[in-house]
Amino acid sequence: MNKPLRWICIFVWLGLLALFAYRQITAQSLPPGLAVAAAAASEDEDRQEWYGIYINQPNGERYKIGYAMTRRSEIATGFRTDADTYMRLAIQGTEQVMRTESKILTDAEYRLQYVDFVMRSDKMKFKVTGQVRGNEIQLEIEAAGATQKQTMALPEVPVMPDDIVSLLSKQGGLKVGNTVELPFFDPMTRRYDKARVRVTQRLEPAAADGRKIVAYRVETEMAGTTAVAIVDEAGNTLEQTMANITMLRETRQAALTENWRDKPADLPEIARVPVDRPIPKPREARRLTVRLAGASLDDLPLGDSRQTFADGVLTVHVPEPPAKGTFKPPLHTDDPEMRALLEPEPLIESDDPAIVAQARQIVPVAIDALTTARVLASWVHDNLEKKPLISITSAKEVLQIRRGDCNEHASLYTALARSLGLPARIDIGLVYVNGAFYYHAWNSVYVGEWVSVDATFGQFPADATHLRIVSGGLDKQVDILRVMGNLKIEVLETP
C-alpha cells in the first residue's frame, strides 16, 4: 500500500528553497559603491530592490509563492545588505508561511565581516550568526532554544555573492566572456566554496513598456549548481533562475499584491517527478532500475553498496540485512570517516543529555548492532507525529516536539544511533509514492555493513524505490539543488 503524501519530506524541497532565496537575493546585483560610481551620483539613500518569487511548472506556468526585498547601504567600514523573504504555500491543503531575514556586513573590498541569517515558520526559529576573525569564522547556531558554537577555518576570507557581479568590473565590466572566481561562504549550510561568475551573452529583451533594453546573461556556478541572471547595463538584476525557481524584479506594490493566486500552490505536487509507468508494490520492491536524465549528475556519489550508476542508469538492489549485528555498540574504529559518523555535529546533537537518555531508555541493555538499529527505527516511527514542518530543526528540538516529516525523522534517528555508538548518516534523494517520485530523506546505519532505514515509512531496510542522490548534513544536502526542477526519471525495470 502506498504511503500518503503527508509522509513526504517537505524540508528537502522547501528548506532548499529558502537556501535558494537567500543565495539569489544576495547574488547578482551591484552594491551601492559601483552603482553610484557608474551613475556619477552622490545619493545617500539605501538601495531597495523587490522581487517576486515564482515556481516554474513543466507546462510553462509560473506560480507566485512569495517575494523578496533587499536593501543595500554604504557604511563607515564598507557595505551592509539586509534581505527579507516571504513565502506562502499549501501542504496537503493547509497554508504554511516561511520568512527569512539576513544581514551581511562586508568591508570596502566586499570581504565578509559579519552575517546573520534567521528563518521563521510555524512558531519555530533557526538562526545562524557568523563573525570573521582573521582566517576563521566563529559561528553560533540557534535552534530549539539552545545555541551551538562552531569555529571554521577559511582558506580565504569569503566574498559574499551580492558583491560578485560588481567585481566583474575589474575584468572590464558586463562584457561577454568576462569571468571572476571568488571564495564564498554560505551561513545556512556552513559551507565554504568557490563561486565562478561568467558573462555569457548579450541580450536585448523588451522592457515592460515595450522598449528594447540592453542586458546580459550572467551565470554563477556555485557548489555544483548554476544560477542564471539577466542583468541590465546599470547592474540591475531583472530576473534570476535556479532549478525551477525564478525571481523577477518587480515594484514593491507588484511584489506584495500582484500575481497571487486565491489558493497557494500545493508543495508536494510542485515537487513531484513523474514517471512513464507505475511501479507495482513499491514498498515491497527489492530491485529497481531507472534512467536519470535532464540534470547534471557529475561528481554526485550515486554509487554505494546498494546502488550502481553508469551511463545514466541507476540500479538499486536491497540486500537482506545480516542475521544479526557483528558487534555490540559502541563501535570502536580508527577509520576517520567512520569516526565522523559517530560524532555530534550542528543540528545532530548526539551528545545532548536528553538525546542520550532517550536512546538508553529505548535500548536499556547492550544488544547487537542490528537489533539496536531496528529498535531505534521502530521507536522513531511510532513516536513522531507525521506532520510537515517548514523549518530547519535540530534532533534535540524534534525530540521535544515529537512531530515532523522525513527530515525530522532522519535527524532524530541519526542522533539516537550515534549516541549509542552506531555510525549513521542522513541520505537525501527521491522515493516513489502514489505514482511519482518525491524528494525525501532517510538514513543509512552501520551494523557491520551498511543498511538503509526509513524511520518515516517504518522500513528496515528501506525499499528499492529510495534513490539516494547525496548523503550528509546541510552542507552536503545542498548538492541536490543541481537536480531539482530538471530531473527526469524513466523506469526501465520494476520488481
Residue 38 grid coordinates: 557608474
Q: How far is CA 295 from CA 319, 335, 460, in A?
A: 28, 33, 30
Crossing angle (nearest 10°) for helices 369-383 and 406-419: 140
Beta strands in 22-61 (DSSP E): 47-56
- 21/83 Cα distance (integer angstroms): 10
Name the percent of the chain lying above pLDDT 90: 46
Identity (one letter) of the amino acid at 59?
N
Tens of pLDDT, residue by residue over 309-347, are 999 999 999 998 887 767 999 999 999 999 999 999 988
DSSP 478: G
Task: Give the predicted TM-score (pTM) of the model.
Answer: 0.84
SS3 373: helix
Question: What pLDDT sits at residue 5?
Answer: 47
Q: At residue 39, does pLDDT exceed 80?
A: no
Q: Which stretch of 35-39, 275-279, 430-434 has the lowest confidence by average pLDDT?
A: 35-39
Question: What pLDDT sits at residue 42?
Answer: 33
Choose from 132-141, 143-152, 177-186 the range with maximum mean pLDDT. 132-141
- 488/290 Cα distance (integer angstroms): 10
Tens of pLDDT, residue by residue over 432-485, are 998 999 989 999 999 999 999 999 999 999 999 999 999 998 777 777 877 887
Place 4 in a pLDDT band, splitting at 50, 70 and 90: very low
User: Longest Cα pair distance anywhere in the chain, in angstroms?
Assistant: 75
Question: What pLDDT sits at residue 419?
Answer: 98
Residue 341 has phi, psi (to 5 degrees) of -85, 5
Identify which of 135, 174, 189, 176 has the alpha carbon closest to the alpha carbon of residue 158: 135
Question: What pLDDT sits at residue 164?
Answer: 53
- 14/267 Cα distance (integer angstroms): 8
Choice between 38 and 258, residue whose per-residue pLDDT is larger? 258
**Is the distance from CB of 241 to CB of 226 less than 8 angstroms?**
no
Residue 125 grid coordinates: 526559529
Choice between 261 and 435, residue whose per-residue pLDDT is larger? 435
Residue 91 grid coordinates: 501542504
Mean pLDDT estimate for the chain:
84
Residue 263 has phi, psi (to 5 degrees) of -115, 135
Residue 383 grid coordinates: 513516536
Tens of pLDDT, residue by residue over 44-91, are 345 788 999 998 877 778 889 999 998 988 899 998 989 999 988 877
Question: What pLDDT sits at residue 6?
Answer: 47
CA angle 419, 424, 427 (to 5 degrees): 140
Question: What pLDDT sits at residue 163?
Answer: 46
β-pair type (78-91, 146-153): unpaired
Choose from 155-164, 281-290, 391-400 the range with maximum mean pLDDT. 281-290
Residue with cell 556552513: 190
Tens of pLDDT, residue by residue over 399-413, are 999 998 898 999 999
Region 93-100 average pLDDT = 82
Question: What pLDDT sits at residue 393?
Answer: 83
* Domains of the chain from N-terminus onward: 31-265 (no CATH), 273-493 (3.10.620.30)
Identity (one letter) of the amino acid at 393?
T
Name the percent of the chain lying above pLDDT 70: 86
Residue 320 grid coordinates: 537482506
DSSP 171: G
Place 26 in a pLDDT band, splitting at 50, 70 and 90: low
CA angle 117, 112, 97 (to 5 degrees): 15
- 240/252 Cα distance (integer angstroms): 17
Please count the other Cβ atoms lying within 10 Å of the Cβ belonging to residue 280.
9
Give the H/E segment covering residue 281. none
Place 3 in a pLDDT band, splitting at 50, 70 and 90: very low
Residue 116 grid coordinates: 546573520
Place 41 in a pLDDT band, splitting at 50, 70 and 90: very low
Tens of pLDDT, residue by residue over 204-248, are 876 666 778 889 999 988 777 788 988 888 777 889 888 778 999
Instruction: Calculate Rg over the CA atoms of the chain.
Output: 23
- 329/325 Cα distance (integer angstroms): 9
Region 365-374 average pLDDT = 93
Region 387-404 average pLDDT = 86
SS3 123: coil
Q: At residue 1, does pLDDT exceed 50?
A: no
Identify which of 111, 83, 115, 80 has the alpha carbon closest to the alpha carbon of residue 99: 83
Give the H/E segment covering residue 485. none
Place 159 in a pLDDT band, splitting at 50, 70 and 90: confident
